[in-house]
Amino acid sequence: MDDPKKILIMSGTPASGKDTLTALLESMSCGKCVLFKKHKMVTNIIDAVQDPRNTVYHLVDEATFHQMIVEKQFLQYHNRYGNGYGIAWSTLEKHWQAGQVPVLHNGKQENLRVFFREKNILVFSVLLMANQDDTKDRILTRNGGDETDAEKRLRAYVAEREELAMIIGNGESPYCHLAINTDWLEPPMTASIIYSAIEKFWAARKS
In whole angstroms, give the CA distance from residue 150 to residue 153. 5
Model pLDDT for residues 22-79, shown as the tens digit of each residue: 999 999 999 999 999 999 999 888 888 888 888 889 999 999 999 999 999 999 999 8
- From first to last of the 207 residues of the chain, give the pLDDT tens digit: 356 899 999 999 888 999 999 999 999 999 999 999 999 999 888 888 888 888 889 999 999 999 999 999 999 999 877 789 999 999 999 999 999 999 999 988 999 999 999 989 999 999 999 988 888 888 888 877 788 888 888 888 888 899 999 999 999 999 999 999 999 999 999 999 999 999 999 988 775
In whole angstroms, give the CA distance from residue 28 to residue 174. 27
Mean pLDDT computed over every residue of the chain: 91
pTM for the whole thing?
0.90
pLDDT at 207: 59
pLDDT at 1: 38
Q: Which residues contact 114 (CB under 8 A, 6 or more apart)?
A: 75, 76
Residue count of the chain: 207
